[in-house]
Structure 1
């Protein structure tokens, strides 16, 4: 009798314990995967999260790109070398800041290469194509899509943006200048605007690099990085406008370092789950133990808005976000 009571109590204890564990959400933890990575582009493809970062290393060693996928934001699978310089003959270093989008049955991966300093150097922004999000990707053009400085913008840090009318734009630029250009249907070039220009400058106050844009409630949110990427002032700010061309008036800074958690937080993107009305900011930062500029890791925290649609300051965390399956 005593044995049966003991087993019964033990069974109840196990049941309660299991229920408690099931109700407690699992946290991803930051960084979300190991290794030195930066400039992450986060996106959803077919109910799966994807992150495409820069491999953070000296420029001459940045000759490939990896990707990471997850079904729940917690467990990440690494897809090694989805593209490298053997597939892009004109690129030889500084493969930077990938941006990806699906159009029809193909995935188009935009990237910067060679860190060109003037119009005489070979390099700039390229585009690659694959039938799957994990690649392998092959060079779409055999040459850069943009290989010159326009309006003072270094051709790096590209973001491909699909507008609500299904027009695709490329938003890009370093050296404190940002351009927007209208992509043609097959992403082999650009369509001039009505005034005959191809590259329109949309640079807001304090812009340095790393542009990102999304639409929420009919408004265009334009985000960018400020400060120096190796310094403590690296951060993310934003503006809001009624069109992708602005004018963009800086609202505020919403992501920056926390001296108790990590430094140099910036160069971000946003994963948007529209069905769940969830916004996740994906960014890089430098661990407190590191001083090398290339020692950067990829992190995710939730991004929220106030009742008027303004972005609330993001608190960077070590815990990260809770598990979230899209299905």
Structure 2
């Protein structure tokens, strides 16, 4: 009898421990996956969430990209080395800040490489293509798409934006300058604007890097990162306009560090759930225990708007978001 009671108590105790572990997992979904990852671009392909981040390491070790997929925003599958420098001969180091789009049944992954500091160096923004979101990706052009400094913008931190009419744009830029260019239908180059210029500067006040754009209620929300990526002032700000060309007047910050949770919150993207009006902001931050600038991890929070369409300040958490399966 004592043995039976002991077994019953053991079973109940085990269930309690298991439930506690499940509960803890449900309460703490940030970071969303293990490892040092930054500059995450979140997107949905075929009712599956995907995140394409930078592998956060010193530039010489930052020569590949991983991807992660999930059906519910909380359980993630890692897809290792979807792209590395062996597939892009001109890229030697520092492949980072991927941006992806599905176009004509192919997946095009835009990336920065080599961290060039002048027009005399080889590198810039490249494109890799694949038939599946998890790759493998191969160099699409055999050379950079953008390999020079235009309007003072370092060719990094690329974002591919598809407008309502189907026109795709490349929005990019470091060194406190942001450009927009109209992509050709086959992504092999750019279509000049009416005044014959290829890139137009749309830099808002305090812009540093990490541009992102989305449309909500026919308004263009343009977002970017401010401050230094290794410092406490790193954050995300935004503007709203009636066109992807702007003009973009800075409204204010909506994501920044919380000294009680994490530091260096920034370089983000936004996912809208197609079956609801839910918006999620995907970003990186640095744990309080870390001082190395490359110790960054990817997190997700829900993003809300007020009755006038302005973005409410995002509260960064350890809990993250609740599971959300696309119907």
Length-normalised TM-score, structure 1: 0.92
Q: Deviations over 1:75-134 (max 9, x none)?
A: 000000000000000000010100000012100000000000000000000001000000
**How far apart are the structure 2 equivalents of 1:88 and 1:284?**
26
The answer on whether the counterparts of 2:40 and 2:54 sit within 8 Å (CA) in structure 1 is: yes
Displacement of 1:274: 3.2
Displacement of 1:141: 0.3
The answer on whether the counterparts of 2:32 and 2:298 sit within 8 Å (CA) in structure 1 is: yes
Counting matched residue pairs gives 307
| Partner SS, residue 86 of structure 1 | helix
| Partner SS, residue 215 of structure 2 | strand
Displacement of 1:142: 0.3
**How far apart are the structure 2 equivalents of 1:311 and 1:300?**
16
Q: Residues 243-282 of structure 1: matches in 2 within 5 Å?
A: 243-282=243-282
- Runs of 4 or more off by more than 6 Å in structure 1? none
Counterpart residue number, 2:304:
304
Displacement of 1:272: 1.1
Counterpart residue number, 1:10:
none
Counterpart residue number, 2:237:
237
**How far apart are the structure 1 equivalents of 2:44 and 2:316?**
22
Counterpart residue number, 2:87:
87
2:103 aligned with 1:97, yes or no? no
Counterpart residue number, 1:196:
196
Length-normalised TM-score, structure 2: 0.92
**How far apart are the structure 2 equivalents of 1:48 and 1:278?**
15
Counterpart residue number, 1:31:
31
Displacement of 1:273: 1.4
Counterpart residue number, 2:288:
288
The answer on whether the counterparts of 2:36 and 2:295 sit within 8 Å (CA) in structure 1 is: yes
The answer on whether the counterparts of 2:41 and 2:98 sit within 8 Å (CA) in structure 1 is: yes
Counterpart residue number, 2:7:
none
Counterpart residue number, 1:166:
166
Displacement of 1:275: 2.4
**How far apart are the structure 1 equivalents of 2:279 and 2:186?**
29
- How large is the Cα RMSD of the aligned pairs? 1.5
Counterpart residue number, 1:130:
130
Displacement of 1:214: 0.3
**How far apart are the structure 2 equivalents of 1:274 and 1:326?**
7
Q: Deviations over 1:40-73 (max 9, x none)?
A: 0000000000000000000000000000000001
**How far apart are the structure 2 equivalents of 1:256 and 1:241?**
23
Q: Residues 215-230 of structure 1: matches in 2 within 5 Å?
A: 215-230=215-230
Structure 1, unmatched stretches of 5+, are 1-13
The answer on whether the counterparts of 2:274 and 2:326 sit within 8 Å (CA) in structure 1 is: no
The answer on whether the counterparts of 2:87 and 2:139 sit within 8 Å (CA) in structure 1 is: yes
| Partner SS, residue 308 of structure 1 | coil
**How far apart are the structure 1 equivalents of 2:80 and 2:271?**
21
Displacement of 1:174: 0.2
**How far apart are the structure 1 equivalents of 2:277 and 2:292?**
37
Q: Residues 206-221 of structure 1: matches in 2 within 5 Å?
A: 206-221=206-221
Structure 2, unmatched stretches of 5+, are 1-14
Q: Residues 39-118 of structure 1: matches in 2 within 5 Å?
A: 39-118=39-118
Displacement of 1:233: 0.3
Q: Deviations over 1:137-162 (max 9, x none)?
A: 00000000000000000000000000
**How far apart are the structure 2 equivalents of 1:250 and 1:113?**
29
**How far apart are the structure 2 equivalents of 1:98 and 1:180?**
17
